[in-house]
Amino acid sequence: MRTSLLLIPFAVALLLACNNDLDINAEYEDRTIVYGLLNQRDSVHLVKINKAFLGEGNAFDMATVPDSNEYGDESITYAMVFRLNDSGNAIDSFPLRDTLVTNREPGSFNAPVQKLYYFTTPFVQQLNAGRMFLQQDQSYRIRLVVKGREITATTPITNDFTISAVDQDTGGTFASRVGLVNSAGEFSNYEFNWASRRDDKRFVVQFRFRYDEVYGTDTVKMEYNQNMGSRVAANSTVFEDLFVTLNGQAFFSGLSGFVRSNPNWAAADKRIFRGMDFLVSVANDDFHTYLTLTEPVTGIIEDRPVYSNIDGALGVWGSRYTKNVIGKRLNGNSLEELANGTYTSDLRFCSALDPGGAFSCN
């Protein structure tokens, strides 16, 4: 103890004598950051090509200056995207061009003007899900030359997938309707089913409940959205049957928390149910891995590897896809619960999808 006490003045003297200027900045190294997510539904594909920045001062202040993170026109001397066949040979090419986006909302980086890069692809095929502009069974490679350094990445395109016939059907048949209450008046689950296809890895499913609020002569369109869950295909090279469920009690309870009763409404005011939509988004393997490694930490271990599938740069070059079912109806038991049930009886809901029915708005 005596020795330790004697050393304290000496240690303090050393600290006071030291230079307290700490330089935490290493020598600057140009690092390119590339982000591109291809969707075969799009004919125009946007790519972000930025540079990492380093300097003295507040990094948040530097991020708002375009020169800190955007390359000048002379820095990128080659920018092209290639379509590859199954053998990996380029069979088509699309030049990347720069453009200015002028309506970016304020955030960490410069706004409202930002530089992006884009390429366009022609119409490829008509699927039941709509018009497609990328070859879904082939891959696309980006190739850049930035300040003399070559940057490349390749990703397959996320395929269209099959939603079950019952869940896809928006007609009036009883079997195809969304059932959240059974014949005994008890809450039940609705199961939404689909089959994955090649290069489909992570699926996220949401529902959207659409309705109108009618106040006298005024009508306001509203919607209530919630996640139903996500599923990850065990193998993205084969078909796999997947599903998520929507719990009836959770649905009506959540709806009552989102939609509030209005004691000042006139007698004719009401809420008109317009339909339920199911929105499915899917990511390919590359994008799924990136999402997994950037999700919030929930465990005791906080360290995680930095993911990049781009040679010569950092970032992600992946693909995604969306497919929706629009205008599903509720079955009779669920409509009765919506109009008169425990959670929603005071919300004045009626249905526009069942004219002449017991819960019709007519």
CATH 2.60.40 corresponds to the domain 162-284+320-351: yes
Question: pLDDT tens across 191-218, in order?
Answer: 999 999 999 999 999 999 999 999 989 9
Please check the confidence at residue 117 and state whether its pLDDT lies above 90: yes
Residue 5 pLDDT: 37
Would you list the domain boundaries of the chain? 32-156, 162-284+320-351
Please say whether the beta carbons of 345 and 183 come within 8 A.
Answer: no
For residue 204 the two structure tokens come to 């996220």
Q: How far apart are CA 118 and CA 96, in angstroms?
A: 5
* Between residues 61 and 8, the one the model is more confident about: 61
Please check the confidence at residue 97 and state whether its pLDDT lies above 50: yes
Which of 107, 103, 117 is CA-nearest to residue 50?
A: 117
Residue 14 pLDDT: 35
Under the banding of pLDDT at 50, 70 and 90, the label for residue 237 is: confident
Residue 62 pLDDT: 63
Amino acid identity of residue 150, one-letter, is E
DSSP string computed for 253-322: HHHHHHS---TT--TT-EEEEEEEEEEEEEE-HHHHHHHHHHSPP-SS----PPP---BTSEEEEEEEEE
Residue 28 pLDDT: 56
Q: Is the peptide bond before 9 cis (omega within 30 degrees of 0)?
A: no
Count CB atoms within 10 A of the CB of residue 248. 22
Please check the confidence at residue 321 and state whether its pLDDT lies above 80: yes
For residue 259 the two structure tokens come to 């939609």
In terms of average pLDDT, the best of 104-118, 126-140, 300-314 is 126-140
Under the banding of pLDDT at 50, 70 and 90, the label for residue 54 is: low
Count CB atoms within 10 A of the CB of residue 245. 15
* Between residues 129 and 198, the one the model is more confident about: 198
Residue 20 pLDDT: 53
Name the strand (E) or helix (H) holding 24: none
Under the banding of pLDDT at 50, 70 and 90, the label for residue 128 is: confident
Using DSSP's 3-state secondary structure scheme, residue 7 falls into: helix
For residue 269 the two structure tokens come to 């005011």
Average pLDDT, the chain: 88
Segment 143-153 mean pLDDT: 97
Torsion-angle region of 139 (φ positive above 0: left; ψ -120 to 50: alpha; else: beta): beta
Length of the chain: 362
Residue 81 pLDDT: 98
Under the banding of pLDDT at 50, 70 and 90, the label for residue 64 is: low
User: For the chain, how far is it from start to end, CA to CA, in angstroms?
Assistant: 90
Residue 263 pLDDT: 85
Residue 296, phi then psi, degrees to nearest 5: -60, 145
Segment 14-39 mean pLDDT: 67
Sequence-separated (6 or more) residues with CB below 8 Å from residue 193 = 163, 164, 166, 167, 241, 242, 243
Name the strand (E) or helix (H) holding 156: strand 149-156
Residue 27 pLDDT: 59
Residue 195 pLDDT: 96
Residue 71 pLDDT: 93
